[in-house]
Structure 1
Amino acid sequence: MNANQVKLLKETFKTIEPMADETGELLYTKLFEIDPSLRPLFKGDIKAQGRMVFTAIGLAIAGLDKPEAMNDQVRSLGSRHVNYGVQPRDVNTFGAAFLWALEQTLGPAFTPEVKDAWISAYGVLSVAMRRATA
């Protein structure tokens, strides 16, 4: 990720953060639409789950300046998700639903540059998650 992408991530996260509950619901609705077999992995309140996702994303965004620490946090998150039954392939499915939810929330602000920045960030995060779930 380059400096401009980091800037775009931080800026757009400020827009998304106040709408984390709604964006989280969009995310999980889309996730279960893409792959209904994932629904049983999420036994709790989806609104609360969405909030947790965006809290974790916020921590990851804040840690972009310290990638080593961020990678440790993401690996730990991935390890926990193995216990929930998450498979490496599910990381890609989640990523597709996540990007879709961001696009819905940001609307016209989800420019090609913003999309590329989020794809790049999710790529970094997903590599660490996949390593932990493999």
Structure 2
Amino acid sequence: MTPSQIDAIETSFRLVAPIAEPAAAIFYQRLFALDPAIKPLFAQTDISEQGRKLMQAIGFVVANLRRPDALLPAVAALGARHRGYGVRPGHYDTVGQALLDTLAEGLGPHFTAEVRDAWAAAYGVLAHAMIEAAAETPRAA
């Protein structure tokens, strides 16, 4: 990621943070619309609480984009945990699309091509780290 991409993410996230709750709701609505087969993974989950966790995780990522030494181990651990929840590598593309769709809706005219490309680049790096960590994690018995 380039410094200008990080700047674009930080700036745009400042616009998303005040609408975190509705943004999280949009994200999960879009995720389940894109792939209804994902919804059962959340059957035992309070989706409002999950939305708060999602926004906290995104906030952590944004706050640490300039510190990959702090960010990547935390993201890898998250990927390993997600394997235990039933998340598969193919799910990451759907999550990425739901994220970009949510940002497009939440940011409106502020969701420029530059902002979209920056978020897509960041998500690609993080999803790759999560998938790799999950692949290295033994399945629970």
Structure 2 residue 89 is the aligned partner of structure 1 residue 83: no
For 1:5-84, list aligned pairs within 5 A: 5-42=5-42, 43-84=44-85
| Partner AA of 1:74 in structure 2 | V
Partner of 2:97: 96
Give a deviation string over 1:52-76, Cα, whole Å, max 9, x none.
1111111111111111221100000
Q: Distance in 1 between matches of 2:132 and 2:22?
A: 30
Q: Calculate percent identity across the aligned residue pairs.
A: 43
Q: Distance in 2 between matches of 1:48 and 1:20?
A: 12
| Structure 1 residue 86: Cα displacement | 0.4
Task: Report how many aligned residue pairs link the two structures.
Answer: 134
Partner of 1:105: 106
Aligned-CA RMSD value? 0.9
Q: Distance in 2 between matches of 1:130 and 1:117?
A: 20
SS state at 1:64 partner: coil
Q: Distance in 1 between matches of 2:125 and 2:67?
A: 13
Question: Which structure: larger Rg?
Answer: 2
Flag as ranges the 4+ runs of structure 1 deviating above 2 A: none
Gaps spanning 5+ residues in structure 1: where? none
Richer in helix (by share):
1
| Partner AA of 2:95 in structure 1 | F
| Partner AA of 2:49 in structure 1 | A
